[in-house]
Amino acid sequence: MMGGMSVEALAEMFAAGGVAVLSGAGISTESGIPDYRGESGSRRRSSPMTHQEFERDPGARHRYWARSHVGWRRFAQARPNVAHRALAHLEKAGLIDGVITQNVDGLHQAAGSARVIDLHGRLDRVVCLQCGEQSSRWDLDARIESANRDWQPTAIQHQADGDAELTPDALAAFRMVHCATCGGALKPDVVYFGDSVPSARVHEASGLVDSARALVVLGSSLQVFSGRRFVARAVQQGTPVAIVNQGPTRCDADADIRIDAPLGGVFGDLMRWLSFEPSPV
């Protein structure tokens, strides 16, 4: 733990109620989903997909959907961990006002959290770039499976955003399907690098931070402005900020409480301090 900060100080912040939570990829690593940067803070993958590349380059879309089809099954099998379940419990107890998440995995909702703002969208939804129709990722998964019955690639490495590195031969053999309504290109309903978070989501998340008694950041290095803006907003308003993350963040100097430790252990201790039974693993 950094700076002598303790779980007790964090527990006192939660106990006072009115907490807004901002979560990043680090909260889902204990559910088996890789994070983007690791403890060093350096990005694991040097060239993330951008919105412009996905929209303009059919080859990029083909590569994405091939890799994503392999990675999706593993991604979709992830289940909420101790930290997700603890947050849902604290919300039900009236101590948390809501969660803003940078993740696209839906694990907060699966754990039972009611007010969740999916800042970057959800990977279990798909949208057509031509007609705008939204559909289920599971429906698309079944259609892709049907079109690739003899395709059996092996993942080289799984990534944080639900895709997987594949060999060139596996990529070339993959057959993509298109929108069942208009035949247009399909895109996961997520915010890519180079794209903007929809203004309605930013407005809702800003309102949550504005009305909060405290902001708690969990599992985010705060390298990306879409999340860091809320810390800046809280600091500007004099709202106390706590950050729990393994490794450095860009806002460590702004934190009133800073804990460098695995989230599962922190929340196990925190729930005991608050006299709640820790969530079962």
CA atoms of 27 and 114, how far apart (whole Å): 17
Of 62, 54, 73, nearest in space to 174 by CA:
62
Structure tokens at 23: 């979560």
Of 265, 186, 252, 247, nearest in space to 36 by CA:
247
Residue for token digits 């008694």?
213
The answer to whether the CB of 26 falls within 8 A of the CB of 34 is: no
69, 108, 120, 158: which is the annotated catalytic residue?
120
Give the strand order in the sheet containing 121-128: 134-136, 121-128, 186-190
Can 120 be counted among the known catalytic residues?
Answer: yes
**φ/ψ (deg, to 5) at 189:** -80, 65
CA atoms of 273 and 10, how far apart (whole Å): 10
User: What element of type H or E holds 7?
Assistant: helix 7-15
Q: Any residues with CB less than 8 A from the CB of 4 and at least 6 apart, and which?
A: none
Of 43, 79, 86, 23, nearest in space to 216 by CA:
23
CA atoms of 180 and 195, how far apart (whole Å): 25
Of 70, 236, 214, nearest in space to 153 by CA:
70
Give catalytic residue positions. 120
